[in-house]
Amino acid sequence: MKRLNSQLQEDGAPMELILLLRTLLAGCKEIAFRVSQGALAGVLGSTLSDNVQGERQKKLDVISNQILKDILSESGYVKAISSEEEDDVVPCNPEGKYLVSFDPLDGSSNTDINSLIGTIFSITHAPQWMKPDDPSAFLQPGTQIVAAGYVLYGPSAMLALTTGRGTHLYTLDKTHGGFLLTTPNVKVPEKTSEFSINTSNQRHWEAPIQAYINDLLAGTEGPREKDYNMRWVAAMVGDIHRVLSRGGIFMYPYDKRDPSKAGKLRLLYEANPMAFLVEQAGGLAETGTGRIMEVMPTEIHQRVPVLIGSKEEVETCLSYNNKN
């Protein structure tokens, strides 16, 4: 099987980017080990503090964030990092060429039930003019991302990665500690009969999304004339992995509870990297009013609505915005 380095070189990734990705993934392998130890290492449960998002931090949130922050700061390749768990950007090397944004442990509420969790990341070029502590450097649209991916900590640790030349899936081989290419050039099926959404929020959705989900639930007796299955992992990394593996649509749409928050998911740490991965696999990634990767960020913790998945299904979902 092909190793990660070989595939990255084949895809034309510059050596400094390859070395940065290897460094980042070394941190992810450490996180994978900590996750696998679970209660044996005393890493389960919550802390007594909240992050900048107002969410109670899990112990593994803090541990994972520190692992990635330390290893990236010491790499020399990174000018600054932004993390879902940090209030502000973290300056690193003033001469670094890259910026890294990440969600250190997506789905961390799943840790206590031993369910799917993962690390999501994206990498962009660092503007030469920026100071390492300048958050405005991160306010780039997703179209500027040079690499994005996630590591899924499941029965096996899996990496999904793109550098703009297709999306590839790798599996961590624990016998030698490297990621091996197991599914090259993933293609998301255009059609699907699976959807992923938290239906407990249905009463807060706007009318077009409510109508769309109602039609899916109506199955063969409804206007879509086929039965759909609902799947919900409660971790974006797990739900998007399913989309990449066998198709589907994943949704976290705008809801009306808090008009100041456009959506649940963070643009820099979750929506943009996942959008890049899915688009490179032939799927679509939309906010409901436009392409996710074309959204111009206004601040590093910005949230957006998310509709990601099989091309035909996302287009059908969007068409409900035009219905009376």
- Binding positions for substrate: 106-109, 198, 264
Alpha-carbon span 32 to 217, nearest angstrom:
37
Specify whether the CB–CB gap between 110 and 235 falls below 8 A: yes
Sequence ranges of the binding site for Mg(2+): 84, 103, 105-106, 270
- Residue 145: closest CA among 318, 323, 275: 275
- For 206, the token pair is 């706007």
Alpha-carbon span 5 to 26, nearest angstrom:
13
Spatial strand order in the sheet of 306-309: 229-230, 194-196, 249-252, 306-309, 284-286
Please calculate the CA angle 178-62-131 and round it to the nearest 5 degrees.
85
Sequence ranges of the binding site: 84, 103, 105-109, 198, 264, 270
- Residue 106: closest CA among 231, 274, 317: 274
Give 3-state DSSP helix, strand, coil % of the chain, rounded to 5. Answer: 40, 25, 35
The count of C-alpha atoms lying within 13 angstroms of the C-alpha of 237, restricted to the half-sphere facing its C-beta, is: 29
